[in-house]
Structure 1
Amino acid sequence: MAKVFRYRLRPTKAQVTKLNEQLELCRWVYNETLAMRKNAFEQEGRSVSYFESKRMLPIWKESKPELRSVYSQVLQDVVLRVNLAFKAFFRRVQSGEKPGYPRFKGKNRYDSISYPQSGFSIDGDKLWLSKIGDIKFKLHRPIEGFVKRLTIHRSATNKWYVSFLVEESIDHVIEPSDKVVGIDVGITNFAVLSNGEFIENPRFLLADEGMLKKAQSKRDKLPKGSQERNKANKSVNHLYERIANRREDFAQQLSHMLVTSYGIICFEDLNIKNMTQNHNLAKSILDASWNKLVQYTSYKAVEAGRKVVLVNPLNTSQMCSCCGQTVKKDLSVRVHSCPYCGLSMDRDLNAAKNILRLGLQSVAKA
């Protein structure tokens, strides 16, 4: 199983300068590759392959010698990223989605480089990178398994991180559990468990929205390109980063609790993209980040020997969990009252029980 281990880098000022220079050179290669493929299609009506693009790297190094200061496989990975962007573009065209043609990267818009196979080594809390040297990183947990790929990322607040893609990571199988649970995610409550437990929605964006709007308003009043605006923009980025970190921590801790406690965990297979078409609820849905919880619970379950089941969300809120009859109700109705069997309970708890039932049925058929 593939797994990613992420750590905070501690580069020196000289190393930060070198990393930023490499990002700019990679951005140049990305834009040059994109321009070549775009021009070939518009002027000659042909597509340029990944291998044809890659053959341009030695030629570009002759005209732009500073490219030699970047490890060769890092530059090849940049060309691969352009190729993947075009593949995704053509896939969206074929499926009838809004295609979104690959874009050129503006200054400071290219923020990561990858070492796909080699050019790096790890010695305790030091990371050696070809063309850069030794960089310290905060080894807050051991790296388990064989590192196949390494990515250096610069955040919007100019913090540096390293991510290791590891294959064949050690499984952390825990004591078997015969406990099962169905989980209904929502906005009023972040999640309701079929055992009657309610998990409050932390609403991280709403909590900081006032400060965020104030910081954005202050930034937007300042002249573009000025030092004052750049400083104000850093304050906005810090707020966004804090919100993202809190969401991440919340999802990680909740998913850990679920995997530790239950042998079978059932979620609805929600289409978040379609749900956010409702502009009245889009902000709250995205703030809740339900997909993070499902994603983290799923990979932790595989590692721990648990099972995550995704069920069809159709009518889970409308069906009575006691008698199975359909009881139509608007989203504003928060209590499920069944006129057929007399069951009365919280709407989301009723849905969680239905999700559990459907999940167990799915497991039994498998």
Structure 2
Amino acid sequence: MKKTYKVRKEAYEKEQRKITCFEQINSLPDKKETNPFLSQVFSQILQDIVRRVHKNFQAFFRRLKDATTKAGYPRFKQFGRYDSFTYPQHGFKLEKSQVKLSNIGWVNVRKHRELPQQEQIKTCSILVKNGKYYACFSCEVEPQLLPKTNKKVGVDMGLTSLLATSDGKLYQAPKTYRKSEKELAKAGRKVSRRVKKSKRRKKSVRILAVKHEKVANQRKDLAHKLSRELVKNYDLIAHEKLQVKNMVKNRHLAKSINDAGRNLFLTILTYKVEETGKRVVEVEPKNTSQICNQCGEKRKEKLKLSQRVFKCSRCDYKDNRDINAARNILKRAEGLGTSLQGAVPIGVV
């Protein structure tokens, strides 16, 4: 990995030349003769490492052409930061509660779920995280279509409530990070007191990482459950096109926004929609919480974030501001010409 990265780095810095992925893959047999260690690694794993480096440099060159983004030169992953390797085509075999890995042997596994037939499994990645090893399989399967409900819903993501739907349901934000903040801070102070490179520091770092992983897993678990509920009950789901990167620039709200895991929820929701044959639509978020969903009247005075109830001065409509916003989101989706049978792609505004 280091030499693959170094060759590309030197070629770019000294000669301003791009080395192709195939050049480096074709050079692997020669490198195996000079480096016996490489012979102990399965050939396709080495090829996948080259492809990873190639993708990173391709992304770097693409960012260089884009003046609006920071290029960010690819960083070499040191021993402690390189945490996975992949069998991209073959070299692995799954049987009952064991997986056979080429050049490693049979390893016992505990399955998260039943997997399809061996021929449907395309790749196998071995990942180590906080001292635990995971085998991740990517499979080619047919989409599992859910029965149609002929229902559609608008969804608004807030801060006090994680989710509000146009049906009037409110899902409170769990605030997983804020609840664990003191415990995380205490574990972080222990790490800072330990001598660098000592065994006690490594142990403290592991404990801190496990605590952070627990918070992330709690957030991910809720996102999976909520997205599954929405996909199961509705054929069309409309939500705002959020720019979370810009939203977290507000230092007063950044922690709450990140704690809610908006991007995570929308990512999970999108792929579940694609798997099940349902549809999701993005709409423009401007003034969704400032307009009455009943009469369309816009408030003269802007509703502050601290004001959680929307009241219309024209028709006296009164409701939770997030529910009002969710209903406006659904109306905007309907105004785009979306229907339960339509062919509007994901991300239409």
Give the C-alpha shift of residue 115 in structure 1.
0.8
Q: Stretches of 4+ moved more than 3 A in 1?
A: none
In 2, the alpha carbon distance for the partners of 1:216 and 1:344 equals 46
Q: Equivalent residues in 2 for 1:215-254 (5 A)?
A: 215-254=187-226
Deviation string 1:94-135 (CA, Å, 9 cap, x unpaired) is 222011100111221100001111111111222111111111
* Unmatched tracts of structure 1, length 5 or more: 1-28
Specify which of 57, 75, 78 is matched with residue 106 of structure 1: 78
Give the C-alpha shift of residue 58 in structure 1.
2.1
- Of the structure 1 ranges 78-87 and 315-324, higher mean CA displacement relative to structure 2 is found in 315-324
Q: Does 1:343 align with 2:348?
A: no
1:177 alignment counterpart: 149
In 2, the alpha carbon distance for the partners of 1:46 and 1:178 equals 56
Q: Does 1:162 align with 2:165?
A: no
In 1, the alpha carbon distance for the partners of 2:136 and 2:112 equals 13
Give the C-alpha shift of residue 85 in structure 1.
0.5
Q: Equivalent residues in 2 for 1:185-200 (5 A)?
A: 185-200=157-172
In 2, the alpha carbon distance for the partners of 1:89 and 1:77 equals 18
In 2, the alpha carbon distance for the partners of 1:361 and 1:259 equals 21
Specify which of 218, 233, 244 is matched with residue 272 of structure 1: 244
In 1, the alpha carbon distance for the partners of 2:273 and 2:329 equals 18
Q: Does 1:51 align with 2:25?
A: no
Give the C-alpha shift of residue 331 in structure 1.
2.6
Summarize the Cα distance change of 1:95–1:209 in structure 2 as closer, same or farther, 3 Å threshold: same
Q: Does 1:258 align with 2:230?
A: yes
Q: Does 1:69 align with 2:40?
A: yes
Give the C-alpha shift of residue 340 in structure 1.
2.6
1:78 alignment counterpart: 49
Give the C-alpha shift of residue 62 in structure 1.
2.1
1:147 alignment partner AA: I
1:14 alignment counterpart: none
In 1, the alpha carbon distance for the partners of 2:238 and 2:335 equals 11
Specify which of 192, 197, 214 is matched with residue 186 of structure 2: 214
The size of the alignment, in residue pairs, is 335
In 1, the alpha carbon distance for the partners of 2:63 and 2:17 equals 19
Q: Equivalent pairs: percent with the same residue?
A: 39
Give the C-alpha shift of residue 249 in structure 1.
0.9
2:63 alignment partner AA: R
1:21 alignment counterpart: none
1:117 alignment partner AA: Q
Deviation string 1:13-55 (CA, Å, 9 cap, x unpaired) is xxxxxxxxxxxxxxxx2x2111111111222221111112223
- Of the structure 1 ranges 334-343 and 82-91, higher mean CA displacement relative to structure 2 is found in 334-343
Kept in 2: contact 1:187–1:284 (CA 8 A):
yes
Kept in 2: contact 1:144–1:170 (CA 8 A):
no
Kept in 2: contact 1:54–1:79 (CA 8 A):
yes
2:329 alignment counterpart: 355
* Unmatched tracts of structure 2, length 5 or more: 345-349
In 2, the alpha carbon distance for the partners of 1:93 and 1:343 equals 52
In 1, the alpha carbon distance for the partners of 2:152 and 2:133 equals 40
In 2, the alpha carbon distance for the partners of 1:205 and 1:278 equals 18
Summarize the Cα distance change of 1:39–1:277 in structure 2 as closer, same or farther, 3 Å threshold: same
